[in-house]
Chains A and B, each alone.
Chain A
């Protein structure tokens, strides 16, 4: 299996622009998690889905962030408008059962 796939791997954008991060979970996995990693806050959960349904989005920082999972093989995390404080590494993870597997991450820089 190819593992969790994320795109793009790097994104540099200007403040105010829309950013869309993409994730393809491992085939057969029924849960998907979006995390953000920063030096100040470490790895923190943004939102997760079970069977394509959002379960907990309390970690989404504000209304500028939104996430969707239209089907079992694809999810997006959108930031609109982006701000410099959104600069971080965004990880997607998937699981079937307890053990989670992480993608390579998207390094986002907002200037």
Chain B
């Protein structure tokens, strides 16, 4: 099956710093989503981004489908950004399941 690798596995940032999280996948994908799992365990949708670039406030994401990677940028990080960031993909269109990476655990310290 498809492999999803995220890096780095852990990241510690000082508040106000910027960061880039990476997601590599082993096959062509139809769907890619980024999630934030907050300290309470909830999975929050950040981006649906099978290709191209999107921005939402301090967060932005870019997927280069032909090169099989996606990047999540966090600018001016805040303590509330702490948690685990997951990349998840599907191979096929339509209502097929997501395959998750292992996540990047981000800790933002004041």
Contacts and interface: CB of A to CB of B under 8 A. Distances in A.
Given A42-B102, A98-B50, A104-B41, A56 B86 contact: no
B45 A31 contact: no
B60 interface: no
A67 interface: no
Contacts of B45: 99, 101-102
Interface in B79-99: 86, 88, 90, 93-99
A75 interface: no
Contacts of A31: 95
Interface string A66-79: 00000000000000
Nearest to A42: B102
A100 interface: yes
Interface residues of B, number: 23
B30 interface: yes
A96 B48 CA distance: 13
Interface of A: 30-31, 33, 42-45, 48, 50, 56, 89, 91, 93, 95-102, 104-105, 107
Interface of B: 30-31, 33, 35, 41-43, 45, 48, 50, 86, 88, 90, 93-100, 102-103
Given A91-B43, A98-B31, A100-B33, 20 more contacts: A31-B95, A33-B97, A42-B100, A42-B103, A43-B100, A44-B100, A45-B97, A45-B98, A48-B96, A56-B97, A95-B95, A98-B30, A98-B93, A99-B31, A102-B42, A102-B43, A102-B45, A104-B41, A104-B42, A105-B42
